[in-house]
Amino acid sequence: MSHKLDALFVGFESQENLGLRYIMAYLARLGFSSQLVPLDPSSPMAVVDVARRTEPLLIGFSIIFQYTIEDFRDVLRLLRGHGVRGHLTAGGHFPTLRPGETFAELPELDSVVRFEGEATTAELMSRLRDAGDWHQIPGLAFRNGDDIALNPPRPLVADLDELPWPVRGEPAVMRGIPAASMLASRGCCFDCAFCSIRQFYGGAPGALRRSRSPQDVVAEMLHLHDSARVRLFVFHDDDFAAKTSAQRRWMDSFLDGLRNTGLDRRIAWKISCRVDDVDAGILARAKAHGLNSVYVGVESGHAEGLAALNKRTTVEQNLSALRTMKDLGLSYDMGFMLIDPSSTLEGLRKNVRFLRQVAELGGVPISFAKTMPLAGTPLEQQLRESRRLTGTATRPDYDLLDPRADHLALFLTLHFSFRNSSPRGLVERLRAAAFDHALARSFESGAWIEAYGKTLAVLVDRCNAAALDALDRLLDVVTELPPVADSVPRVWADLTRIMEPAHQTEALLNAELKALLSRYSPALASAFEREDEQEPEDGYVYC
């Protein structure tokens, strides 16, 4: 049977899906054609329509976390229901670490590509094209009767410079500035209990963390700048500024490359790193070469929480890193897990006190989440062994040991999830505005930029104060209750009333933010308006 397209790839692409785009480039070098369809859960037929038109030999799905399985399930069912016959495969963290559960949840799949996907997918394509037997390919998993066959893992790519640069589409545009996602490394040397990166890369032979040469990274950036006018580079490395001496030398060489090509005067870039990577001297030099934004994984504000998450950092390191970036004038943001399996009411109180200290620094819209037991992580294993793992394979959860803290965690999830994590929520919009302001500082000039920043900082401070005041009041009430299962449900209505001022403040600040952006960033304001037109205005969940 002839095929118009060799491979069709499907995955989320709010930013460029570099995992799939690297595979597409690898296939292209070998002469295979491919196409990427961004997954929109509201329009699963869009994938089916492309598949029926292009008749691909293989359709590959990028599935990172188990929480998105339901979105992919709809697409796979529709593909087979509409007669699409291509080989269906999936890769990513969840399929790699839980192939049996992946096949159970997605029975239409023919195979799973485990760990890194370039060479395994290419060999699978070759076998399919030649109608050969693909079942012995290293790195593949597949059904073998009632069992799941796991072929030996393929070694990780030793030299990342050997990989072709990822296939690119039209650059995203932020504040009129073309942007591109980048990867300078793969993997991480650390073993945080909640993170599946170590397990994903550690399950195959090879180094836990590998870097491209700084020369190759700069060359790709220069190519994107010259060919597509890209001036903003967002690095998605799990730990860009690793604190090893080798990585420090890498950073020096990278910055030298930016200077020697002249990119340092024409671009801005953003990285993610650990708090113990934050070094004032290195970041000051990086800022002078275009770095304008840093995301750090803080995760917890007290020693017990940091130990439970195996962060190998201290509270003082957390605060010191934030102070350093503040003093350097860098835009920064942080990840924070208010609730983890070890959480007690006192632990929650310590986290709120820590967040108060963060708020005093100013500039960071504070959000918080509950640590989720991702598949394959040490945290998941600990919860399973202690018989505390609840939920389902795709929606795992756990109960806290104090029933009061457990019910409060549910209450916080219901009342803060929209604020903290929805694209339409106040925190995500303040984050977008903060990054927009950082871009204005990097690429534009005028007194208006300072006025924009000052007003935005006031909104952030008010947003943080409303949330932290509510958290303190909620904890005051719950801490006085007896430690029995029904004590919090009995005062649920009282807790809901405590939240009313915070919700009112959020709505007011959202309106003020829109007005601010209408003046200083009309494009971002228009994007928010379009989002609001697509969904009901009231996104809060009450009970």
In a domain, 161, yes or no: no
Q: How many residues belong to the chain?
A: 543
Q: Are 345 and 268 in the same domain? A: yes
pLDDT at 2: 55
CATH number of the domain that 267 lies in? Answer: 3.20.20.70
| CA geometry: angle 25, 29, 33, nearest 5 deg | 70
pLDDT of residue 541: 35
**Domain-embedded: residue 148:** no
d(CA 371, CA 341): 8
DSSP letter assigned to residue 331:
E
> Domain check: are 451 and 387 in the same one?
no
Token pair 């945080």 in the structure block, residue: 192
Residue 321 has pLDDT above 50, yes or no: yes
Q: Name the nearest CA neighbour of 23 among 137, 155, 174, 163.
A: 163
Q: How many whole angstroms separate alpha carbon 102 and alpha carbon 115? A: 14
Same domain, 315 and 449: no
Residues 125 and 181 both lie in one domain:
no
pLDDT of residue 542: 29
Task: Please indicate, yes or no, if residue 104 is contained in any of the structural domains.
Answer: yes
Task: Answer yes or no: do 505 and 464 share one domain.
Answer: yes
Domain ends where: 350, 369, 400? 400
pLDDT at 363: 79
What is the average pLDDT across 264-282?
Answer: 96
The reply to whether 300 and 419 lie within a common domain is: no
Q: Which helix (H) or strand (E) holds 31?
A: none
Nearest to 325 by CA among 297, 354, 294: 294
The answer for residues whose C-beta is within 8 angstroms of residue 168's C-beta and 6 or more apart is 16, 21, 180, 224, 228
Which strand (E) or helix (H) includes residue 427?
helix 426-443
At residue 81 the predicted structure's pLDDT band, cuts being 50, 70 and 90, is very high
Q: Residue 314: is its pLDDT beyond 80?
A: yes
Integer Cα distance of 230 and 232 in angstroms: 6
Sign of CA dihedral 449, 451, 456, 457: positive
Q: What pLDDT score was predicted for residue 309?
A: 97
Are residues 344 and 288 part of one domain?
A: yes
Q: Which amino acid is at 174?
A: M
- Residues 448-466 have pLDDT tens digits of 999 999 999 999 999 999 9
Residue 34 forms part of a structural domain: yes
Residue 225 lies in a domain: yes
Query: Which one of 374, 400, 426 terminates a domain?
Result: 400
For residue range 279-292, list pLDDT tens digits in order: 999 999 999 999 99
Confidence (pLDDT) at 535 = 54
Task: Give percent of the chain above pLDDT 90.
Answer: 94
Assess whether 211 and 299 both reside in one domain.
yes
Please tell me whether residues 406 and 510 are part of one structural domain: yes
Q: Is the pLDDT of residue 135 over 80?
A: yes
Report the domain count for the chain: 3
Q: Flag whether pLDDT at 543 surpasses 70.
A: no
Cα-to-chain-centroid distance, residue 264? 27
The CATH number of the domain holding residue 115 is: 3.40.50.280
Taking Cα atoms as reference points, which of 36, 39, 92 lies closest to residue 66?
92
Least confident of 41-50, 165-174, 243-252, 281-290: 243-252
For residues 392 and 413, state if they share a domain: no
CA atoms of 354 and 350, how far apart (whole Å): 6
Residue matched to tokens 């100013």: 362
Say if residues 75 and 39 touch (Cβ distance below 8 Å).
Answer: yes
Residues 283 and 340 in one domain: yes
- Boundary-marking domain end, from 140, 158, 185: 140
Query: Long-range contacts made by residues 37-40, C-beta under 8 angstroms, separation at least 24?
Result: 37/8, 37/9, 37/10, 38/10, 38/11, 38/12, 38/13, 39/10, 39/11, 39/12, 39/13, 39/71, 39/72, 39/75
Question: For residue 153, is it within any domain?
Answer: no
- Rounded to a whole number of angstroms, the distance between the first and last alpha carbons of the chain is 55
Same domain, 354 and 415: no
By residue range, what is the domain housing residue 251? 170-400
For residue 259, being part of any structural domain is answered with yes
**Residue 160 in domain:** no
Q: Which residue has the tokens 């915070």?
A: 502
Across the range 68-78, mean pLDDT stands at 95
State the alpha helices, DSSP H only, in 30-131: 45-54, 69-81, 93-97, 99-105, 118-129
What pLDDT score does 241 carry?
75
For the record, the structure tokens of 289 come out as 């070469």
List own/partner pairs for 102-106 with CB under 8 A and 24 or more apart. 102/63, 102/69, 103/141, 103/143, 103/148, 104/393, 105/69, 105/73, 105/393, 105/394, 106/69, 106/72, 106/73, 106/76
